[in-house]
Amino acid sequence: MSKFTVTRRGALKTGAAAGAGLALPTIFTAGAARAFTNEPGASSVTLGFNVPQTGPYADEGADELRAYQLAVEHLNGEGDGGMLQTFSSKVLDGTGILGRKVEYVTGDTQTKSDAARASAKSMIEKDGAIMITGGSSSGVAVAVQGLCQEAGVIFMAGLTHSNDTTGKDKKANGFRHFFDAYMSGAALAPVLAKMYGNDRKAYHLTADYTWGWTQQESIQAATEALGWETVNNVLTPLAATDFSSYIAPVLNSGADVLILNHYGGNMVNSLTNAVQFGLRDKQVNGKNFEIVVPLYSRLMAKGAGENVKGIFGSTNWHWSLQDEGSQAFVKSFGTKYGFPPSQAAHTCYVQTLLYADAVTRANSFEPCAVVEALEGGDSSLPGIDSPSNKGYLFDGLGNGPTLYRAADHQCFKDVLVVKGKDNPTSEFDLLEVVEVTPVDQVWYEPDHPMFAGGDLGQCNNGA
């Protein structure tokens, strides 16, 4: 019995099937032994875009899908080429990947680990996808990353912010471009200290699941390092829709800052509730009461409406960035869809390009070769003196010079601190970039306690 030959569709499109049909004595042929899972045929290659299409993150998923479609167009030489022109690596020439036309299949993660794995499996087993990418939550990212490791395909994570994705749950076949909770804390804390002073008392509301905990841990460590005091950390159920009973006691706790370690619907509701309670009009300890949302996204900001005004947070990327790469991406995305891309769209687009680039540089679709290409050679980020500062260095995809670190497959780049805009000029203009925190401030070692315990393991080619 051949071992895990989940592939065949790709090969069928080539001559293999025709050959099987002609060989009369053996009508039944087993799928030919292949070097690795879903080795693509000569004419096309299939990528799997696994994004939430139903459930609360469906809009984010839709935006990710738009970015993927755009990336496929650009890789196949359609459209204006987007960031292909600004990307520091010039091996991609708009002829697909290694001369094969890029095709794609889509699936629905439903923002559930189970469903996401089922849909990724179907793309691998049925559609012959060679790479899976997407997702809008860390649970899903970790679950699908584990699957891809076992199946022997590459996973290019979409939006996932938990430390665990490239921490204790890191996998050799998985890569994350998005930033993480530690970086949020490290980038945000100095700005908060600058704006609100070093003598602050923080009250945390934290979504009671893995991402919430790592986010809270990160921001608490970063703010305490700057002299803040943590008054309390209250865990809130994921299913909570009304946060009033958690927010009401905050004012009387002696805290003068409320940190909302929430994402998505939780964040929209908790922030809305907090503003409803008039927290931001209050004075505590002789200071203005402030609210902080460590992880921001434009869609969440849109959901919370006016309530985001003046509230600080961090984000991976924002369309108002003025660098060449970001501008090129915003232009082609905006021209095609009529509105600027979200950070989720950006990271997904970039991940697709990075994958294509790595395959081209490796001159092979073999996962281990791709992993090697993404881990780069010995290039390193300037200005950081660390033995782990090694990996694949690139530029021109927004965020400035970026390192795909070999040690944990995490991207290191500048992190944006943003603030809800006071006078938005359009429905997309909700956040303004307050500071671009340079990469050396958010750098950490792979064995940092918040990331320890995992093991990349060996890359897996599958078959």
Partner 1 sequence: MLGLDKKDATILLVVIALALLAPFLLNPFPSNSGLAQFNAGYPDLMQRFVIFGIFAIGFNILFGLTGYLSFGHAAFLGVGSYSAVWMFKLLSMNVLPAILLSIVIAGLFSVLIGYVSLRRSGIYFSILTLAFAQMSFNLAYSVLTPITNGETGLQLTLDDPRVLGQTATASGNIPATNVFGLEMRSTYTMDVGAWSFDFNAGYYLCAIIMILAFYLSLRIFRSPFGLMLRAVKSNQQRLNYTGLNPKPYTLAAFIISGMYAGLAGGLLASMDPLAGAERMQWTASGEVVLMTILGGAGTLIGPVLGAGFIKYFENIFSKINDNVLHQWFSFLPEGMEDTLVFLLHPFVGKGWHLTLGILFMLVVTFLPGGLVEGGQRLSRLFRRRSRDTDTTPDPEHHPKESPHVAE
Partner 2 sequence: MDAIILQILNGLDKGSAYALIALGLTLIFGTLGVVNFAHGALFMLGAFCAVTLNRLLTLSFETIDETKTDFLGNPMKVKTPYVEAWFGPETGAAIIDWAVPLSILFAIPIMIAIGFAMERGLIKHFYKRPHADQILVTFGLAIVLQELIKLFFGANPIPTPAPDIFRGSFDFGVLLGFDPNVIIYPYWRMVYFLFAMVIIGGVFAFLQFTTFGMVVRAGMADRETVGLLGIDIDKRFTFMFGLAAAVAGLAGVMYAPINSPNYHMGMDFLVLSFVVVVVGGMGSLPGAVLAGFLLGILESFASMTWVKDIVPGIDQIIIYLVAIIILLTRPRGLMGRKGVMED
- The strand pair at 201-207 and 257-261 is best described as parallel
Q: Does 343 bind partner 2 (CB under 8 A)?
A: no
Which residue, 307 or 410, is less far from partner 1 as judged by CB? 410
Distance of alpha carbon 343 from alpha carbon 158, whole angstroms: 10
Q: Which does 330 bind (CB under 5 to 8 A by kind): partner 2, partner 1, none?
A: partner 2
Chain centroid to CA 111: how far? 14
Using CB under 8 A, which of the segments 233-241, 329-337, 373-381, 424-432 binds partner 1? Answer: 233-241
Q: Does 237 bind partner 2 (CB under 8 A)?
A: yes
Q: Which residues contact 18 (CB under 8 A, 6 or more apart)?
A: none
Which residue, 65 or 381, is less far from partner 1 as judged by CB? 65
Pick the binder of partner 1 from 67, 75, 115, 181 (CB under 8 A). 115
Chain centroid to CA 101: how far? 25
Q: Does 252 bind partner 2 (CB under 8 A)?
A: yes
Q: DSSP class of residue 196?
A: H
| Binders of partner 1 in range 133-192 (CB under 8 A) | 137-139, 142-143, 146-147, 149-150, 164, 169
Half-sphere exposure of 113 (CA within 13 A, CB side): 7
Q: Which does 357 bind (CB under 5 to 8 A by kind): partner 1, partner 2, none?
A: none
Q: Does 44 bind partner 1 (CB under 8 A)?
A: no
Closest distance between partner 1 and the C-beta of residue 295, in Å? 15
Distance of alpha carbon 31 from alpha carbon 12, whole angstroms: 9
Q: Does 340 bind partner 2 (CB under 8 A)?
A: yes
Contact (Cβ atoms closer than 8 angstroms) between residue 409 and residue 174 = yes
Distance of alpha carbon 217 from alpha carbon 294, whole angstroms: 12
Contact (Cβ atoms closer than 8 angstroms) between residue 159 and residue 347 = yes
Pick the binder of partner 2 from 2, 29, 88, 335 (CB under 8 A). 335
Closest distance between partner 2 and the C-beta of residue 396, in Å? 20
Nearest to 272 by CA among 298, 311, 234: 311
Pick the binder of partner 2 from 26, 239, 286, 322 (CB under 8 A). 239
Name the strands in the sheet holding 290-295, side by side, starting at the edge strand that comes first in the sequence. Answer: 229-236, 201-207, 257-261, 290-295, 312-315, 415-420, 431-437
Using CB under 8 A, which of the segments 102-110, 269-277, 309-317, 378-386 binds partner 2? Answer: 269-277
Pick the binder of partner 1 from 85, 95, 122, 253 (CB under 8 A). 122
Nearest to 306 by CA among 277, 276, 286, 342: 276
| Binders of partner 2 in range 291-310 (CB under 8 A) | 299, 302-307
Pick the binder of partner 1 from 24, 239, 385, 426 (CB under 8 A). 239
Closest distance between partner 1 and the C-beta of residue 36, in Å? 13
Pick the binder of partner 1 from 81, 82, 96, 107 (CB under 8 A). 107
Q: Does 58 bind partner 2 (CB under 8 A)?
A: yes
Q: Which residues of 390-415 are buried (b: 16+ CB within 10 A; e: fewer)?
A: bbbbbbbbbbbbbbbbbbbbbbbbbb
Closest distance between partner 2 and the C-beta of residue 245, in Å? 4
Q: Which does 114 bind (CB under 5 to 8 A by kind): partner 1, partner 2, none?
A: partner 1
Which region holds residue 262: left if phi is over 0, alpha if psi is between -120 and 50, else beta?
beta
Q: Does 400 bind partner 2 (CB under 8 A)?
A: no
Q: Does 320 bind partner 2 (CB under 8 A)?
A: yes
Amino acid identity, position 162: S
| Helix, strand or coil, per DSSP, at residue 156 | strand
Q: Which does 77 bind (CB under 5 to 8 A by kind): partner 2, partner 1, none?
A: none
Write 30-35 long-range contacts (CB < 8 A, 24+): 30/2, 30/5, 31/2, 31/5, 31/7, 33/2, 33/5, 33/463, 34/5, 34/7, 34/463, 35/366, 35/461, 35/463
Using CB under 8 A, which of the segments 127-135, 172-180, 238-246, 377-385 binds partner 2? Answer: 238-246
Contact (Cβ atoms closer than 8 angstroms) between residue 187 and residue 72 = no
Chain centroid to CA 192: how far? 24
Binding site for partner 1 (CB under 8 A): 1-6, 8-9, 12-13, 17, 20-21, 27-31, 53-54, 58, 61-62, 65, 69, 104-108, 112-115, 117-119, 121-123, 125-126, 137-139, 142-143, 146-147, 149-150, 164, 169, 208-211, 235, 237-239, 455, 457-458, 460
Which residues in this chain contact partner 2 in the complex, by CB under 8 A?
Answer: 55-59, 62, 208, 232, 234-237, 239-242, 244-246, 248-249, 251-252, 265, 268-269, 272-273, 276-278, 281-282, 284, 299, 302-307, 319-320, 330-331, 334-335, 340, 425-426, 428-429
